[in-house]
Amino acid sequence: MTDFNLFDMQDLIDYLIEVAKKQKIGLKVCNDWPADWNSVGHAELNLICYNPNFLPAYRRPIELAHEIGHVLAHHPSKNPVNTKSCDEGYEAEANKIAIKLILKYIQENDLQFETRQQLMDSFGIPESMVYSVDKVINSKNTFQYNLFNTVSIDGLF
Ligand SMILES: [Zn+2]
């Protein structure tokens, strides 16, 4: 496995920005936001405000993918991403879409992982999303960790 370095991270961010464009989602890059502000998806506005300064940096792709998930699933957007007042059902759904988007990237780039933990470490997927990772993975009976080409994103691509 190759380490998920900064170049790869930016490549994935660019990929996710392209996904947003293809899905006709507006994307505002908030260059003046501080490092502790999460990116925010506004489904009603069909808009994502992406924070390119967010730290830790390795969380930027999964955060962006998660917000794309909220907008694609038309979730109401009244709260910042990281508050506990967010609806847990919405959060789980956004996480699942985010993980599917990352699996799609892995598939298109022909990347291989032997374990779920390698996958999560490489893409900065937080431990709190492990349940969603398993849900996505187990939704395909034929899935094996080294067979990401069996993954598809239902209805999105
Ligand atoms: Zn959220």
Q: pLDDT digit of tens for each residue in the chain (157 aa)?
A: 445 555 678 999 999 999 999 999 999 999 999 999 999 999 999 999 999 999 999 999 999 999 999 999 998 866 555 554 568 889 999 999 999 999 889 888 888 877 888 889 889 999 999 999 988 887 654 344 333 334 444 444 4
Rounded to whole angstroms, the Cα distance separating 138 from 140 reads 5
User: How many Å separate Cα 128 from the centre of its chain?
Assistant: 13
pTM: 0.82
Token digits of residue 54: 């967010």
Q: Where are the domains of the chain?
A: 6-150
17-60 residue pLDDT tens? 999 999 999 999 999 999 999 999 999 999 999 999 999 999 99
- Rounded to the nearest angstrom, the distance between the alpha carbon of 63 and the centre of ligand 1 is 8
CA of 26 to the centre of ligand 1 (A): 17
The CA 146 to ligand 1 mean position distance, Å, reads: 29
What's the maximum distance between 2 C-alpha atoms anywhere in the chain? 45
